[in-house]
Homo-oligomer: A and B are copies of this chain.
Amino acid sequence: MHEDFLDELGELALGSRLKRVSEKMLADAAKVYEHFGMAIQPKWFTLLALLDKKHTVSVVEASEYLGLSQPALSQFCRQLSAKELINVAADKSDSRKKVIQLSAKGRVQVQVMKPIWSAVNLAAIELSEQSNNQFYQALLLFEASLAEKSLLQRSQHHFKQLANTQLSEEQINIIEFKPTLASYFDVINSQWIEEMFVLEEVDKRVLRYPQKNIIEKGGKIWFAEHPSLGIVGTCALLNKGNGAYELTKMGVLKTARGLKVGEILLQHVIEQAQSLPLNCLFLLTNAKCEAAIHLYEKNGFVHDKEIMDSFGRSYQRCDVAMRWTQEDFATNL
């Protein structure tokens, strides 16, 4: 048998660990009922206890008390009715509502189970207090903290700290393509394309084999590296022949949005493009990509109908064509 890998993951696997423990507890509860000959399913326990205490509740009320979904309670009611442990009747003043209560048999069944509940309660207290560790109290506090500020919010906060610590523009490092980085090209671009469009077959081919489809055809690929997040952005130049280059597959991971990675990358690509036998630098995109288009406009690209007519049919999703104009860009510098 192997060691427990969750131990190595520590707090990161807290969720998985909690799930594992809760499943163990529920499985044990089932064994307890079985051992004492009770034809009762553990999932019914909270509802039976609620009915014992409150006498009558409706389906929705029960779901609110117990923190379970309404359909869950609806199902429990059907099952407990079949076992004749509860009576279900329409509410007199509101015919949508159902009034649930224990039947005479159900009340007796609960009475008969109560000593078992007491024993389980003592067992749970014993477990909780093992080694002076007030597990139950800690769990209550944990739940309260989680309700106050969710794991998502807390994670977002910590992530922001991680991504922004001492970040200045010079710390985004632009590096050239090498085969070991090929998959970053795939992962980074797949992310935004899948989010905004659907990944077409032509995309998949280019993303999977960038070396063959871009580099070996005289194109270029760059990556942007963040000091703590690693490689977070990429951009390619496709060699279309006759000195025409298409700027394409520019993407920044969602984890690095808002850090100006896109702009740094784009400016680097434009700058590097100057050392190519450049005749025409253009790009194709979709009107949906507002932020990107704004970035392109800001960095010397202008909308161009001619480009649209000559190259626009390559991709289904492209309805915007832009061409880089050295003049405009130079005056911006």
Contacts and interface: CB of A to CB of B under 8 A. Distances in A.
A159 B3 contact: no
Interface stretch (A148-156, A212-220, A273-281, A323-331): A148-156
A142 B127 contact: yes
A248 interface: no
Interface of A: 1-6, 8-26, 28-29, 31-32, 35-39, 42, 45-46, 49-50, 53, 61, 64-67, 104-105, 107-109, 111-112, 114-128, 130-131, 133-139, 141-143, 145-146, 150-152, 154-159, 162-163, 182-184, 186-188, 190-192, 194-195, 228-232, 253-255
Contacts of A230: 111-112, 114-115
Given A18-B25, A37-B192, 16 more contacts: A4-B65, A5-B65, A10-B121, A11-B128, A13-B49, A14-B25, A19-B23, A32-B155, A37-B191, A107-B183, A112-B230, A112-B232, A115-B159, A119-B155, A127-B154, A138-B138
Contacts of A186: 105, 108
A31 B156 CA distance: 11
B142 A128 contact: yes
